[in-house]
Amino acid sequence: MASIELLLIIALASGFLAYLLGRVNRVYGAIVTIVSSMFVFSSLAYFGFTDSLDTTVSILPYVTFQVTYLGMFFAVMITFIYAMVSFFNPMFIKDYKYPGAYSMLYILSMAGVIGVFFTDNFMVMFFFFEFIVWTSMFLIPLGHSRKAAVSYYAFSAVGSFALLFAIFMMREAAGSFGINAGLAAISGTNAIVVFILLIVSAFAKLGAFPLHTWLPIAHGNAPHPFSPVLSGALVKLGAFVAVMALIKITPNSYVIVALDLPLAQYLVAIFAGLSIVFGTLMAIRQDDAKKLLAYSSMSHGGYILLAFSLGSSIGLSGGFYHIVTHALATGAAFLAIAAVGRQTGTTKMSELGGVIQKMPVTYVVYLIAIISMAGIPPMGGFISKWLIFQAVIDKGLILLAAAVFFGSIGSFLYVFRPLAALFLGQEKPQFKGILKEAPVIMLIPMIVLSGMNLVTGIFPNIFLQFINKVIVELGMAPVVLGTYTIQGTNGILDPLQITIAFGIGVVIAFIIFILLKKSKQVGLMDTYTAGNFIYSEELMHYSVDFYAPIERLYEKHTTHVQDMYKSLENKVKEFGNVVKYFFFTNKPEITVFWILIIIGALLWGDLL
Amino acid sequence: MSAILLIVIPLLAAFLSILVKKYSANILLVVSFASVVLLNYIPLEVITIGGFAAPYGINLILDQYSLIALYAVNVLFFLVVAINCAKFKKLSSILLVALAGLNGMILTGDLFNLFVFMEVSGIAAYLMTTTNQKPLATFNYLVQGTVGSSLYLLGLILLYAMFGTLNMQDMAFQISSSGYHIAVTAFPFLLMFIGFGVEAKLLPFNSWVQGILGSSNRLTGPMIASVYAAAIGFVLGRLLTELFVFEGTLLLIVTAILGFSIVAGEAMAFGAKKVREILLFSSIAQAALVALVFLSGFTGLAALLLIANTAGKLILFLITNTATDQLGNDDISTLQGLFVNNKVVGVSFTVAVLNVLGLPMFFGFVLKMNILLEFFQTDHLLWPAVILIVSVVEGIYFIRLLLKLWFKESDLPQVEFEFTLKYVVVVVAALLILFGVYTAPVEQAADDLTAIQYIEGGNL
Amino acid sequence: MLQYAAIVLIMLGLYGILTKRNVIKIIVSLNILEIGLNLFIVSVGFVDGGLAPIFTSQNATNDLNFVDPLPQALVLTAIVIGVGTTALGLAIAKTIYAKYGTFNLDEMGEK
Amino acid sequence: MKNFLALALSLFIGFLIIMSLRNNVAFPEYGTVNVASRVSQAYLDRDVTENPGTVIFGESVNLESGPANTVTAIVADYRSFDTLGEVTVLFVSSLGVALLLGTKKQKRLEVDFHPNFMLRVGSRALFGIILMTGIYVAIHGHLTPGGGFPGGAMIASSMLLLYLANDSFRAKIKGFKILESAAGSAYILIGLIGLLVGGYFLQNVLDNGTLGSLFSAGFIPIIYVLIGLKVGSEISGVIDNFLTEEGV
Amino acid sequence: MTVINIIEIVISILVILLAFLAINSKTLIKSVMFLSGLSMLSVLGFVLMKAPDVAVTEAVIGSGLVTALFVYTLLAVGKRGKKA
């Protein structure tokens, strides 16, 4: 038996230990993050899957715990990402302005994750929710931009406060902060309000349209090792909230008979579809590989939301499985890019090229990740997307299905771009000779994640069986699973067969590639152009603006949402300045004037 | 030991200190520390002055509420004085009088006596602000303060004319037992509220704040924004809970004022470009929030919120004004990177900010949650929504400020923080964390304060 | 009648502060406000045909119809406090003049 | 125009106030106050702590508050604490004036006005008379109108006359300071005596004598003299500050 | 309408008039003089309202001392103004 409380306390304590050791030597602090996150992940996973987590609380005040499959699903997955990413910390820690603080906040935010998912009390959940926000908020500015942290905080705050408001409304209905009681007690108009608030919270956290503008800024500018945590792990908090809203609350809304879907869910699905399309289109345009992945997170957040909003077992399991596969894929991709970023100092595609020559392992990791993201077998992304397709088509949502397909194709387009621009192509002269493969400690997590990507694609049922437990816990019928097969609504998927077929295809292609190898490796200068030899290593290979024609179609319409928030910000500022102008001058007359007006208002009101 | 000593000792020390100018700073330090110590030894009671029981004579009311208020004010006062007394020797006597005035304001149970102490502490405050070297702002403050207290006096006299008493509790009793429609007291109540509104920085009556706090120094900033704000807040809270009955048009007007103060204060802070302006505008919003919570009847929470806010403001203003005094101005760009080399101070500042924002682990979080909970339990859904929305705005500008102060690559501002200041801010910040984590005593105190039966003050 | 005049005085004092841009004028207005307030306070204790609240050999017992003494006591305090603020205000006015060379708020170039 | 609008606004608000007071059922109309319904009646009857029966001038002995002047009884006895605060206000504002104007000055203000012979002699003659009046007013505050504050102000006026009479005259500020400090402290000490002897701060523990005689109000004449001295010295200090300027 | 009432009305009107003049007079010294007059009239008002204590205090302090302070402020400044 392992006490959750003990784990939480160990995590908190090791956070402070990391800070202290980080003061001695910054690398020590980073090593503490590895040990601590590995410990937390492995004990959670081990004791969790053997059903021996202890919920008794003896030290912490007010905190109460419960173990649910839902919570464990999220907690194990997120701590796994934390544990994997933590291997990167020692290599990056020397770049940070406040290394001790980085190590401490990294662990503290992970401790917050334990708190959020294992409590049965809304207040405790919110406490840790906010705790994660402010700890991660201070991690982000250690990267490139301070603005990123502000915008992250702003949207997180919107999400948290919407959640808080909903929590209080549920508390009023239920009389206590209990999560299950609260969700069950809410009904009538209040249920609609709570539903909307929770959805706003989920959208803000997941970065779904239209609350997405923080995603690229925060992910793009966070420290390299923290971007995968943000995108793979913390964003998924929004999915947790979305599950609560979409599954557990049934607002009494009008049911669209043709679709067998309540209006509320349908609206969420539409916004999710918009997120998919918008995220995809925006990702296609990005030059910075991290921003590109950020927009892809937005699009994948849309998939998750869409899956949950359909309210079917297949949809749910697709959504949950997509959370896993996307976390693994985006984690690996971000780590690969982080490795490139560390070795070269930039993540801008226009400044990079030919990295494959020196970093082949990183290249393979990235390749596997993008295959998964694009939903191509034999990676996990294919399975989850297949499930989601099944659910969407089953409901007959044609437009949304189009969005899903568009997203899938689009994601292939955009993830291929960094592949070509970063890894393939001509090696940049400025990196020549100094570029090396990432150190082993960084390769370990990348390889593990890639392996997981494959495993999720080949043996999905290991995971889906657990997801079935979650679904049953949420009150739905489980998805029918064979030993290796998944029963969809209109077909059976056998990932193993697909993998074997795919594997055979790859092998054949490889054989052909070897046998028919006509090309030979030539040096960069060993060529000529327009009848002249080349004497300098100028850039000959342009792989930056792949999709310029497509981009041109919508390039004028990419900033509407940002503009909206910008103008909102300006409106608040203007309002403040107007008030300042009316009430604050260094003259006493203003005060007297308003006093007279207010007295007049009262007396006038009383006399009439 | 009697609570009267809290007023008399500083006053006596003030009268004597003008003779021994040399030691006046030491006297000030000793007396302000003695007041804090003394607080531990005085019993809760109603003190009758001159042997004439209320409502005929003046009484001082020392109950749980005023005890907490006294603790807050005296401790904050001592901290501010401990840091500043050497530099502001000339003001020692005035500060002693200010201490007496503030203690008197909190303790007194008599409305006119309250006016007198309001003037005592007010005039002391005007004088303190002359050290800002902005006579115009001081003048503005003086005029507004005088107008405000005159209006308070006018309202008080109207009440006296109607109900024939000056004692607070007796007045409340007379009003409730008179059988008059509540509208008869609306006008005097509004006047008194405005009178306090000027001092308590509620929005339409506070144009002095920008001039005073916007150019404050290390003494006046923390003193006005923290110590005075605490005292005025507590007194306003007592009036709001014990005396004022707001209904109908008056309630509408007062809530409109408070709501507007909250929203506009945060909006102005959002647009501000100077650190002190951010702080002062946010303290306007906070003062209004505290008043709103008092008005809604959550006395204990409001009192604790007031303490949390004023303690936070103490840290913020101390640090900002120390830096500003050394750097010459308080533009964010000047102060940028301030904490890179002053980490201890920076962490305290950050704690104070996070506390104000109400993020978990800090005192402010516990209070904010409880306040929202109370609002929900009384079916006021509007106010939590307003509070949460402005919290987002507040969060944005504070985080923006924090990050600016923490991050800068080169050309860092050179500011020396002396040991006393560091010590004070760290201790206060540690307390804010302590009560954020160890919440049992906080909630206990809130319940106690809300539930207290005010000690019977009069013989009527 | 005097009571109403007192209220008008208070309002005139506020009007003065509202419109005048001269430091001295503002202090004068404050004084007018205070005088009005004092008159009002005393008027609140006035009884038609009442006697001044002093026992003398003529008005020797407490059965007589005295006016209310309490407001008068309050006014005494208020007057002294008024002097305190006025003196302080004038001192500040002097420092303002020393700094800006004028009493007129509009002519001072302070931000 | 702005001026006129502001005037109209404030007069209109004044009119509203007057109307609302007229309509206010609880607010007694001018001159029709029922003193008996207010706490003041107890001050007139002197029956806050005891019931003396009918109070009669020249006969009632040892009332709870001795002054024949009921206003004085309130100011210096029933609500003496207010008066302490009031003294403090004056104290702090005189300190403030000194702080603002008296930093490093040495000499009298130069004005285009020089006292002539008549003024010089007349002021000196008047000085004594006014000073005596002031002290008299202060001491008799419990019997006649007046008291410590006007008495102190008269004392200060007498000093003012000296300033007028001689354009290089400077009073001994240090002396004022000592007087001010001593008087203020003595006031508080009297209060503390009350606390120690009678159990209440500022309690009048001396016998009150017969209503209407000079030695009839316990501490009150003493307090009023102290207030007179304090106010006199403070205001003199203020006047000195206003009449001097920086320079040698 | 007794004599007292008429006196009251006259004082009331005069007081308001003086206040208006004090606020709106062109020169500061006039303004101060009107204020002094207003203060003296208010003394009369206090007497009418049977408040001799207040009347004495207002006469000495309000009317005398405050006026003196105003005048000295103006004197000190007027001199400097000439110098400049």
SS (H, E, C) chain B: CCCHHHHHHHHHHHHHHCCCHHHHHHHHHHHHHHHHHHHCCCCCEEEECCCCCCCCCCEEEECHHHHHHHHHHHHHHHHHHHHHCCCCHHHHHHHHHHHHHHHHHHHECEHHHHHHHHHHHHHHHHHHHHHHCCHHHHHHHHHHHHHHHHHHHHHHHHHHHHHCCCEHHHHHHHHHHHCCCHHHHHHHHHHHHHHHHHHCCCHHHCCHHHHHHCCCCCCHHHHHHHHHHHHHHHHHHHHHHHHCCCCHHHHHHHHHHHHHHHHHHHHHHHHCCEHHHHHHHHHHHHHHHHHHHHHCCCHHHHHHHHHHHHHHHHHHHHHHHHHHHHHCCCEHHHHCCCCCCCHHHHHHHHHHHHHHHCCCCCHHHHHHHHHHHHHHHCCCCHHHHHHHHHHHHHHHHHHHHHHHHHCCCCCCCCCCCCHHHHHHHHHHHHHHHHHHHCCHHHHHHHHHHHHCCCCCCCCC
Instruction: Please judge whether D150 and E75 are an interchain contact, meaning their C-beta atoms are less than 8 angstroms apart.
Output: no
Contact D/A (≥3 CB pairs under 8 Å) = yes
Does the CB of E83 have a partner CB in chain C at under 8 Å? Answer: no
Instruction: Please judge whether B139 and C89 are an interchain contact, meaning their C-beta atoms are less than 8 angstroms apart.
Output: yes
Give the one of D111, D112, D153 whose C-beta lies nearest to E61's C-beta: D153
Contact C/B (≥3 CB pairs under 8 Å) = yes
Instruction: Please judge whether D95 and B8 are an interchain contact, meaning their C-beta atoms are less than 8 angstroms apart.
Output: no
Instruction: Please judge whether C30 and B154 are an interchain contact, meaning their C-beta atoms are less than 8 angstroms apart.
Output: no
Chain E residues lying within 8 Å of C31, measured CB to CB? 35, 39, 62, 66
pLDDT more than 90, % of chain E: 7
Give the one of C70, C76, C80 whose C-beta lies nearest to D43's C-beta: C70
Looking at residue E50, the DSSP 8-state letter turns out to be T
Whole-prediction pTM: 0.89
pLDDT at residue B115, rounded to an integer: 92
Give the one of D145, D154, D242 whose C-beta lies nearest to E73's C-beta: D242
Q: For residue range D27-85, list pLDDT tens digits in order.
A: 888 888 888 888 888 888 888 887 777 888 877 777 777 788 888 888 888 888 888 88
Instruction: Please judge whether B147 and A595 are an interchain contact, meaning their C-beta atoms are less than 8 angstroms apart.
Output: yes
pLDDT at residue B457, rounded to an integer: 40
Chain C residues lying within 8 Å of D35, measured CB to CB? 45, 47, 50, 66-68
Q: For residue range C6-64, list pLDDT tens digits in order.
A: 999 999 999 998 888 888 889 999 999 999 999 999 998 888 888 888 888 887 787 88
Task: Give the Cα separation of E23 and B80 in Å (integer).
Answer: 41
Mutate to test the interface with E, among C19, C39, C80 (most CBs of E within 10 A): C39
Chain D residues lying within 8 Å of E57, measured CB to CB? 146-147, 149-150, 153
The closest of A377, A388, A269, A271 to A322, measured between CA atoms, is: A388
Are the CB atoms for B12 and D205 separated by under 8 Å?
no
Residue listed under structure tokens 């004037």: A593
C111: pLDDT confidence band, cut at 50, 70 and 90? very low
Q: Where are the domains of chain A?
A: 1-120, 144-552, 559-607
Fill in the amino acid letter for E46. F
Tokens of B330: 């308080």
pLDDT at residue B102, rounded to an integer: 92
In this structure, the strands spanning A53-54 and A2-3 are: parallel
Chain D residues lying within 8 Å of B58, measured CB to CB? 79, 81-82
Q: For residue range E31-66, list pLDDT tens digits in order.
A: 888 999 999 989 988 888 888 888 888 888 878 888
Does the CB of A150 have a partner CB in chain B at under 8 Å? Answer: yes
Task: Give the Cα separation of B304 and B289 in Å (integer).
Answer: 12
Mutate to test the interface with C, among B154, B159, B165, B329 (most CBs of C within 10 A): B154
Beta strands in D188-240, from DSSP E residues, in sequence order:
none
Does the CB of E43 have a partner CB in chain C at under 8 Å? Answer: no
* pLDDT exceeds cutoff 60 at C110: no
Give the one of E52, E56, E72 whose C-beta lies nearest to D243's C-beta: E72
Are the CB atoms for D147 and D75 separated by under 8 Å?
yes
Instruction: Please judge whether D111 and E79 are an interchain contact, meaning their C-beta atoms are less than 8 angstroms apart.
Output: yes
Contact E/D (≥3 CB pairs under 8 Å) = yes
Task: Give the Cα separation of B71 and C102 in Å (integer).
Answer: 45
Q: Average pLDDT of chain B?
A: 85
* pLDDT exceeds cutoff 60 at B453: no
Tell me the CA distances in angstroms from A193 to A204, B162, E42, one per residue in order.
16, 48, 64
Are the CB atoms for B79 and B35 separated by under 8 Å?
no
| pLDDT per 10-residue tile (average), chain A, 608 residues | 78 84 80 84 82 76 80 86 84 78 85 85 85 84 76 86 86 80 77 84 84 81 82 83 79 65 79 85 79 84 85 83 87 84 75 74 82 79 82 78 81 75 70 72 84 82 82 79 72 79 84 75 63 61 65 74 83 85 78 86 76
Q: Which residue in chain B has the smallest CA separation from C34?
A: B150
Phi first, then psi: what are they for C66, rounded to 5°?
-90, 155
Task: Give the Cα separation of D159 and D152 in Å (integer).
Answer: 11
Q: Which residue in chain C has the smallest CA separation from E72?
A: C90
Cα A353–chain centre separation: 27
Task: Give the Cα separation of D215 and D208 in Å (integer).
Answer: 8
Interface of E to D at Cβ within 8 Å reads 51-57, 59-61, 64-65, 68-69, 72-73, 75-76, 79
How many CB pairs lie under 8 A apart between chains A and C? Answer: 15
* pLDDT exceeds cutoff 50 at E84: no
State the smallest CA–CA distance between residue C59 and chain B in angstroms. Answer: 24
Q: For residue range B275-295, list pLDDT tens digits in order.
A: 888 888 888 888 899 998 888
Contact E/A (≥3 CB pairs under 8 Å) = no
Are the CB atoms for B400 and B344 separated by under 8 Å?
no
Chain C residues lying within 8 Å of A586, measured CB to CB? 110
Tokens of A506: 């790859």
Instruction: Please judge whether D9 and A596 are an interchain contact, meaning their C-beta atoms are less than 8 angstroms apart.
Output: yes
Q: For residue range D146-194, list pLDDT tens digits in order.
A: 778 888 888 888 888 888 777 777 777 778 888 888 888 888 888 888 8
pLDDT at residue C36, rounded to an integer: 92
Does the CB of A405 have a partner CB in chain B at under 8 Å? Answer: no
pLDDT at residue B101, rounded to an integer: 92
Task: Give the Cα separation of B123 and B118 in Å (integer).
Answer: 8
Instruction: Please judge whether C69 and D40 are an interchain contact, meaning their C-beta atoms are less than 8 angstroms apart.
Output: yes
Does the CB of E14 have a partner CB in chain C at under 8 Å? Answer: no
Looking at residue A524, the DSSP 8-state letter turns out to be T
* pLDDT exceeds cutoff 80 at B61: yes
Chain C residues lying within 8 Å of B157, measured CB to CB? 37, 40-41, 44, 71, 74
Instruction: Please judge whether A596 and D19 are an interchain contact, meaning their C-beta atoms are less than 8 angstroms apart.
Output: no
Mutate to test the interface with D, among C62, C66, C75, C94 (most CBs of D within 10 A): C62
Give the one of C20, C76, C82 whose C-beta lies nearest to E54's C-beta: C76
The CA-based dihedral angle spanning residues C17, C20, C23, C26, taken in that order and rounded to the nearest 10 degrees: -30
Looking at residue A437, the DSSP 8-state letter turns out to be P
Work out the average pLDDT over B324-330.
82
Burial of A352 from C-beta contacts in 10 A (0-12 / 13-18 / 19+) = buried
State the smallest CA–CA distance between residue C62 and chain B in angstroms. Answer: 17
Phi first, then psi: what are they for A117, rounded to 5°?
-90, -15
Does the CB of D26 have a partner CB in chain B at under 8 Å? Answer: yes
Q: Neighbouring chains of B at 3+ CB pairs within 8 Å?
A: A, C, D
Does the CB of A168 have a partner CB in chain B at under 8 Å? Answer: yes
Q: CA D57, D63, D68: angle at the middle one, nearest 5?
A: 40
Mutate to test the interface with B, among C3, C88, C108, C111 (most CBs of B within 10 A): C88
Chain A residues lying within 8 Å of B180, measured CB to CB? none
pLDDT at residue A524, rounded to an integer: 60
Q: Neighbouring chains of A at 3+ CB pairs within 8 Å?
A: B, C, D
State the smallest CA–CA distance between residue A575 and chain D in angstroms. Answer: 26
Instruction: Please judge whether D10 and C14 are an interchain contact, meaning their C-beta atoms are less than 8 angstroms apart.
Output: yes
Instruction: Please judge whether B264 and A574 are an interchain contact, meaning their C-beta atoms are less than 8 angstroms apart.
Output: no
Does the CB of C12 have a partner CB in chain B at under 8 Å? Answer: no
Work out the average pLDDT over B232-255.
86
Q: Which residue in chain D has the smallest CA separation from C59?
A: D57
B99: pLDDT confidence band, cut at 50, 70 and 90? very high
- Maximum distance among all Cα pairs of chain B, rounded to whole angstroms: 71
Tell me the CA distances in angstroms from A559 to A551, A566, B358, one per residue in order.
13, 10, 33
Instruction: Please judge whether C28 and E9 are an interchain contact, meaning their C-beta atoms are less than 8 angstroms apart.
Output: no
- Maximum distance among all Cα pairs of chain A, rounded to whole angstroms: 101
The closest of D243, B131, E77, D108 to C93, measured between CA atoms, is: E77
Q: Domain spanning C2-48+65-105 has what CATH number?
A: 1.10.287.3510
Instruction: Please judge whether C25 and E31 are an interchain contact, meaning their C-beta atoms are less than 8 angstroms apart.
Output: yes
pLDDT at residue B459, rounded to an integer: 32
Instruction: Please judge whether C81 and B119 are an interchain contact, meaning their C-beta atoms are less than 8 angstroms apart.
Output: yes
